[in-house]
């Protein structure tokens, strides 16, 4: 029995020795697994002859590299971008191609796939050599993501904002967030703090679009649309009413036109707009360049009424007369001076993902 046991132990030891001797080779083989991908460099002034035309008359040119293998598209994009951000020479070898990212120092924080869109979250510093460098840098990064199957669009967020904000930014210590392109000018021209409130988030990517939440509205950037429709608002009035379980209550049921002189009727939603709420609705609107404030501009800002006025206990525990619209909730605050009797509800804070 002792001899048999010794033989078994010897066999086990031999198997373990063989396994240990082959382990480094297996690890090395696993580590060496790579896959080919493309990075993208810039041919300055090529005018699209050698690749897609970008920026100030340049071309975007693919170059082949190998990256560590990854089982996910998010991992592949991360590896490729990390390689790109590690190149700090202004020229790519002896090719004559330019790397507009060479002076920048960026890190990939997260990659999210939203349908056909890659949301690319980066941190660090972006150093641009001039105005033409911004489209070069954007395309170098976005093209890395677009090379993978199922990805046709990329939205890039750097330190919670755009790659560069040509008109600067405003920092709000009240909430700790910045207002930058492409929302800065829109926020400023169309009502600012009283209408939209402070920013409550950095820029995010939601449903494939650059997004930012403010106290009273959610901005979405739609670069495919012409101005002024390149920034669209969320239907936060409707979303809030649904979240609070109000849509099935009597104030939200369709109503006939009141016929009162101080009222007008919104036929698309079957609700009346009267008195102070009507005055406030017509006082403000998006700036479409029309004389005064047109009904079209007010509609774009507030939307149609989706309820009649009614009393509601709000977030501060007090009861106010309110009326819900597609994009806002108007509130009457009788304790305030006349100019501030109507306030817009701080709805968006409860909708932040």
In a structure prediction context, what are the per-residue pLDDT tens digits for the chain, which is 353 residues long?
A: 445 445 554 544 444 444 444 444 444 444 449 999 999 999 999 999 999 999 899 999 999 999 999 999 999 999 999 999 999 999 999 999 999 999 999 999 999 999 999 999 999 999 998 889 999 999 999 999 999 999 999 999 999 999 988 777 899 999 999 999 999 999 998 989 989 999 999 999 999 999 999 999 999 999 999 888 899 999 999 999 999 999 999 999 999 999 999 999 999 999 999 999 999 999 999 988 888 899 999 999 999 999 999 999 998 899 999 999 999 999 999 999 998 999 999 999 888 87
Residue at token pair 């029995």: 1
Give the model's pLDDT for residue 9: 42
Residue at token pair 């998006």: 286
Residue 220 CB partners (closer than 8 Å, separation 6+): 206, 209, 210, 211, 231, 232, 233, 234
Asked if 235 contacts 303 with a C-beta cutoff of 8 angstroms, the reply is yes
Of the candidates 251, 268, 262, 219, the residue with the CA atom closest to the CA atom of residue 329: 251
d(CA 233, CA 330): 16
d(CA 2, CA 260): 108
Partners of 89 in the β-ladder: none
Asked if 61 contacts 42 with a C-beta cutoff of 8 angstroms, the reply is yes
DSSP labels for 133-149?
Answer: HHHHHHHHHHHHHHTST
36: part of which helix (H) or strand (E)? Answer: strand 34-43
Asked if 61 contacts 51 with a C-beta cutoff of 8 angstroms, the reply is yes
Strands 153-158 and 117-125: parallel
Give the model's pLDDT for residue 144: 98
* Helix, strand, coil distribution of the chain in percent, nearest 5: 30, 30, 40
d(CA 72, CA 116): 15
- Sign of torsion, CA 129 134 140 144? positive
d(CA 72, CA 208): 19
Give the model's pLDDT for residue 348: 92
- Sign of torsion, CA 51 54 60 66? negative
Q: Determine the 3-state secondary structure of 113 from DSSP.
A: strand
Give the model's pLDDT for residue 258: 93
Give the model's pLDDT for residue 219: 96
Residue at token pair 């030891």: 13
d(CA 319, CA 252): 18
């Amino acid at each position: 029995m002792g001899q048999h046991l010794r033989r078994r132990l010897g066999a086990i030891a031999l198997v373990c020795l063989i396994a240990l001797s082959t382990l480094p080779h297996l690890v090395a083989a696993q580590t060496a697994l790579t896959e080919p991908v493309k990075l993208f460099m810039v041919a300055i002034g090529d005018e699209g002859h050698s690749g897609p035309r970008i920026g100030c008359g340049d071309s975007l040119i693919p170059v082949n590299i190998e990256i560590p293998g990854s089982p996910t598209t998010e991992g592949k994009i991360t590896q490729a971008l990390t390689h790109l951000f590690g190149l700090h020479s202004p020229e790519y070898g002896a090719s004559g191609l330019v790397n507009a990212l060479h002076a920048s120092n960026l890190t990939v924080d997260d990659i999210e796939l939203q349908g056909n869109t890659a949301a690319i979250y980066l941190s660090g510093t972006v150093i641009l050599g001039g105005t033409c460098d911004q489209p070069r840098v954007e395309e170098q990064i976005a093209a890395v993501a677009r090379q993978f199957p199922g990805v046709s669009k990329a939205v890039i967020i750097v330190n919670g904002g755009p790659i560069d904000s040509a008109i600067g930014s405003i920092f709000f210590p009240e909430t700790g967030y910045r207002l930058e392109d492409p929302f800065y000018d829109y926020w400023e021209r169309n009502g600012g703090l009283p209408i939209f409130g402070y920013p409550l988030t950095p820029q995010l990517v939601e449903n494939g679009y650059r997004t930012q939440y403010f106290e009273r509205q959610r901005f979405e950037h739609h670069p495919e649309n012409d101005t002024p429709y390149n920034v669209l608002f969320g239907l936060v009035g409707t979303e809030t009413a649904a979240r609070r379980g109000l849509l099935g209550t009597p104030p939200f049921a369709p109503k006939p036109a009141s016929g009162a002189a101080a009222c007008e009727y919104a036929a698309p939603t079957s609700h009346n707009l009267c008195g102070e709420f009507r005055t406030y609705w017509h006082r403000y609107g998006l700036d479409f360049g029309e004389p005064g404030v047109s009904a079209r501009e007010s509609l774009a800002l507030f939307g149609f009424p989706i309820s009649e006025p009614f009393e509601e206990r709000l977030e501060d525990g007090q009861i106010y007369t309110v009326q819900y619209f597609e994009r806002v909730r108007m509130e009457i605050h009788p304790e305030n001076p006349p100019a501030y009797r109507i306030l817009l509800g701080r709805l968006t804070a409860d909708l932040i993902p």
